[in-house]
Amino acid sequence: MRLTKSTDLALRVILHLARPARAEPPASGEVALAVGGPRAEVEVAVGRLRGLGVVAAGAGLTLTDLGRTASVGWLVRELEGVGDVVGCQDDPPCPLLGPCRLRGVLRRAQDAFLATLDPVTVPDLVADARWWLGLPMPSAR
């Protein structure tokens, strides 16, 4: 599974805003620099996150209570949508649509991918202070 660039940027924004408290909430331009995305695209991602109730904007950007506790699976579903992985019904539709089982297999793979993300929350992703300090992280097993 590959997330869209928009979802990737939105998740980066959330992770950046989940960092330990700062003196001032960051502005969208600062966040764009921090997450390595074009300012216009980051602003679109922030708009989507505001629409989900995950980010608040005032004198800067902050995570809401929902944003601080959200499941990554829920976030990805909301940002990506839950459509088919392949374009079986595109125009023109795939001629193999009737006998093809690929669509069902890919749907199950997508469901498994999202189910893996469901128990992971934003705090889980930022819990280790070493990440914020740029120190080596333990290898995943």
Distances (CA, A) of 74 to 1, 17, 112, 127: 16, 18, 13, 19
Using an 8 Å Cβ cutoff, are 48 and 6 in contact?
A: yes
In a domain, 88, yes or no: yes
Give domain status of residue 139, yes or no: no
Q: What single DSSP character describes residue 134? A: T
Question: Is 16 part of a structural domain of the chain?
Answer: yes
* Residue 33 belongs to some domain of the structure: yes
Indicate whether 135 pLDDT > 70: no
Q: Count how many domains the chain has.
A: 1
In a domain, 79, yes or no: yes
Mean model confidence pLDDT for the chain: 87
Identify whether 64 is part of a domain.
yes
Residue 132 in this model has a pLDDT that exceeds 70: no
Give the per-residue SS3 of 46-112: HHHHHHCCCEEECCCEEECHHHHHCEHHHHHHHHHCCCCCCCCCCCCCCCCCCCCCHHHHHHHHHHH
Residue 31, pLDDT score: 94
The pLDDT of residue 13 is 96
pLDDT at 95: 79
pTM of the model: 0.84
Residues 16-61 have pLDDT tens digits of: 999 877 788 999 999 999 999 999 999 999 999 999 999 999 889 9
Domain interval for residue 69: 5-133
59-68, 107-116, 125-134: range with lowest mean pLDDT:
125-134
Beta bridge mates, 62: 56
Is 141 inside a domain boundary? no
Instruction: State the CATH number of the domain containing residue 116.
Output: 1.10.10.10
The 10 Å Cβ neighbour count of residue 2 is 7
Using CA atoms, how far apart are residues 94 and 106, in angstroms rounded to an integer? 15
Instruction: Tell me whether residue 140 is in a domain.
Output: no
Q: Which residue has the tokens 């333990």?
A: 138
